[in-house]
Amino acid sequence: MNQIEELNNNMVEIAENASRAVVSINSTIYSGNFGYGMTPVKGSGSGFLISQDGYILTNNHVIEGSETVDVLLNDGRKYQGQIAGTDPQTDVALVKIHGNDFPVMELGDSDNIRIGSIVLAIGNALGLPGGHTVSMGVISAKNRPMPWADFIFEGLLQTDAAINPGNSGGPLVDMTGKVIGINTAIIAQANGIGFSIPISTVKKELDDMIRTGKVNRNYIGISGIEINESVSERYGLISENGVMVARIDPYSPAYEAGIRPGDVITAFGGKNIRSMRDLIRAVSEMKGNTDVLFKRGGSKYRTTIEYKNKREKRITILDK
């Protein structure tokens, strides 16, 4: 057997084994106008089993707002699924079906996957009958942002493996047969550009989702507006970069640290803040009391946000 035949056989075996744990998900949302009744709106996507007792990973947008979630296994068995956990911020969801001894997929390590590595995307492309669609490609890039998405996430895997509507929620599989990503999006105007959520990030969320149905994240209690030229002119700001605090929870760590609406956050935990994404990422990495630099009027300030929401405030004027 030559190397090409060996590679081909290996890929066929990986695709066959992985497909056993890939599922089709059909969701129904009821919508309508008063007096005209409710109309069912159906959607479809993919997912994959990660435990023998029926936990399935998929995309949040596949099941969001659904009244019913129907799960079809590769062997033809049908189940009524229950939404067990959601994380809209990273577009990840967990669905549960009742049963035992389901085929499962092993979760790999997306942190160490290399650009150029061969991958397979598996899923219910376009909701076509006759089994799952398998497409091959490579990891084209890592740590990609998706600024146009409804969810806020960076660090996505980019692949040229074909990802089509219906593939959402399906696995991206490496050449060891392990899941390295959840297929989530494509760029409609381009060919060969798809994105997957790194499985190493998802693994960090799983315990929270199984235990509480959601992901517990660091919280400072503000909503903000990215500073640009038009925002600076509108609000009469001196700052050219940063995030202006638009609203703040009066019981939040940020409020207790002395931050108020109109303040412009320029650094968080030693990292420069130029966008809301910068701030969200910095807050997510917060592991203890954290120094924050912000501007108020013509002055610069430093304060410390307490990780455990303590009420002590420490603000120091740096200059005027």
Q: What is the dihedral of CA 125, 128, 131, 132, to 10 degrees?
A: 0
Rounded to whole angstroms, how far apart are CA atoms 267 and 18?
Answer: 44
**Token code pair at residue 1:** 């057997």
Phi, psi of 223 (to 5 degrees): -120, 145
Residue 169 burial (CB count, 10 A): 32
Of 24, 46, 61, 174, which residue is the catalytic one? 61
Strand pairing report for 92-96 and 78-87: antiparallel
Of 27, 44, 135, 168, which residue is the catalytic one? 168
Q: Is 168 a catalytic residue?
A: yes
Q: Is 196 a catalytic residue?
A: no
Beta strands per DSSP E along the chain: 22-31, 39-49, 55-59, 68-72, 78-87, 92-96, 118-123, 133-144, 156-159, 171-173, 179-186, 194-198, 222-226, 243-248, 264-268, 271-272, 290-296, 299-305, 315-319
Rounded to whole angstroms, how far apart are CA atoms 190 and 268?
Answer: 36
Q: Please name every residue paired with 225 in a beta bridge, in sequence order, or none if there are none.
A: 244
Local structure of residue 161 (DSSP, 8 states): S
Rounded to whole angstroms, how far apart are CA atoms 200 and 161?
Answer: 20
Of 91, 160, 174, 278, which residue is the catalytic one? 91
Q: Is 98 a catalytic residue?
A: no
Which residues are annotated as catalytic?
61, 91, 168
